[in-house]
A = this chain, B = another copy of it.
Amino acid sequence: MERPQLTERVGFLTNKTAALLIQVVEERLSPLGLTSRPYFVLAGIDQPEPLSQQALSRLLGIDPTTMVGLIDELERSGLVRRVRNTRDRRRYDIELSEAGARTLATAHAAVAAAEEEFFAPLTGAQRADYQDALGRLLDGRWPPP
């Protein structure tokens, strides 16, 4: 490949696509008073087993020191609670409140609508292939060990 154009660089295209998709998602989330980051945090909290802040940090790839402020903000808004883990009292279990669960459900619907809009140019099969490719690329690389 002698002098490839930027437009052919799959790395650049991947980036651009991610940036444009985030933009559409944030437009849909803004009426809820959310940006994508706290939305991802809420979605990450909604697991069968409660996670500590550090586990959440690793899962989402957000620095633990940044996570402190994000959880602070969500706690101030009444969407999550910090509950001391009884077996390891250094940890907090981060839990969704009732309001948090309701907000997350609304947010999920908004994001699903954004994704429908963004992926409209693909057929159902193409979109399935795309999502499958992402799964293969992330396998073994994420979530982190």
Could you tell me which A residues sit within 8 Å of B by CB distance?
1-7, 9-22, 25, 36, 40, 43-44, 46-47, 59, 61, 105, 108-109, 111-112, 114-115, 118-119, 121-122, 126-127, 129-131, 133-139, 141-143
Contacts and interface: CB of A to CB of B under 8 A. Distances in A.
A14 to B, nearest CB: 5
Contacts of A7: 143
A140 B130 CA distance: 19
A46 to B, nearest CB: 6
Nearest to A42: B6
Q: Is the interface of A mostly helix, strand, loop or mixed?
A: helix
Copies of this subunit: 2
15 contacts: A4-B43, A10-B134, A11-B114, A11-B115, A13-B131, A13-B135, A14-B17, A14-B18, A14-B21, A15-B21, A17-B18, A19-B61, A20-B138, A129-B129, A129-B130
A130 to B, nearest CB: 4
Nearest to A112: B1
A2 B109 CA distance: 9
Nearest to A143: B7
